[in-house]
Structure 1
Amino acid sequence: MSQNYLNEVAYQKLRESIVKGVLMPGTHLSENELANEYNMSRTPIRAAISRLESEGLITSLKKRGFLVKNISYNEILNILEVQLMLRLYALNSIKQQDLPCDLHALRQFLDKQIEASKNDDYYEYISQSFMFSRFFISSVNNEAISAIYDSFRDRIIYYSVVNWKMTPHHKHYHANEINQSIYKALIEKDYDIVQQKFNESYQNARQRLILQGVWSDI
């Protein structure tokens, strides 16, 4: 097997463990332990850790190894703000240019999101909620904008899954009602309601960040 292949396998395994909350924030990462667990040498493990560090999921300790990154209030708030801006930009473009939005495909993401919440599969729920917004934004056919949104995917899912695990007595699955309202408004081409729901989603998530200290379902 090529080194590039092994690097990718190690990256995908470690990334999935972090994003799904198997490795929680503050977990110390040992290259030797991961190499034994994944049955490979330390070289691909080191490459995977370096890549995930550049993506903001791992932080290095000077000469003391690596940790799964803790959640920064400012980082999440910045993501929320950019997420809102991209949603509103896409909505404005759709409205002004009368761009088509594949509502049938959008409904499939919504249905999968709702089904996941019924099964209490939070990882799948937040993944489908992300894809609901991502698909809506892709309607403007701007690859650069889609790439920016995609760059937030793992951190959004990771933050939300960890929040779900750490606050089991709080209400979760907030995006179901919001996305159902957005979908209904898109069918009716009531773009004012869509804008209202995007702003409401941002304000609600921001408020939960303040009340909960850091964690929020975004």
Structure 2
Amino acid sequence: MGIRLVKGSWAWIVPLGIGGCLLVLAGFFWLGAAAVAIAGCLLFFFRDPERKIPSGDDLILSPADGRVVRISEGEGGGEGILVSIFLSLWDVHVNRAPTRGKVSEVVHRKGSFHFAFRDKASEQNEKNTIVLDNGRNRITVKQIAGFIARRVVCWLQPGQLVEAGQRIGMIKFGSRVDLILPEGTRIAVRKGQRVKAGETVIGYVE
């Protein structure tokens, strides 16, 4: 089975790899080796593996690969539970929908670029806010840029219907994803736990 990469990433990787090989053949070994190494790093970073997505209308799935760094109540105007996930450089950076539903909002906000593992990144950093309405609840996903990750990509439009586990975007080179869940959600993860986008169950809603 071949390596699945994020759409469009081959346009970066192939020229770097071929160019690096040509430079090595031309006698510019270190320059060529550096180009090939960068191509290899991009190949790793832009990987987009398939996931086994669990089914269930009450499930809330992780929107990102990474480590849970914060769980707190009183979010989203005082009625909600926040689950924050930090993505290191080594994690898969493709984000996935935590539930099926209709995209009611996609809002981009400019901001700072604090280290993504710090709590103030949630409030102050540049971000995309995506609100999903599944007919019973509204689930909010925030794609948050970091000190290194300075490009947030969202593949959704308001009014679009999405399925749980569907690819919704990515954040390039280390980042944070916040998930705001309805009050009363039964949280199934703990702080410090590793999670996988589209596979790990974050919680259960009524």
Looking at secondary structure, tell me which structure has more helix per residue: 1
Bigger relative contact order (CA 8 A; separation at least 6): 2
Do these two structures clear the TM 0.5 threshold for a shared fold by scoring above it?
Answer: no
TM-score (norm 2): 0.28
Structure 1 length as normaliser, TM-score? 0.27
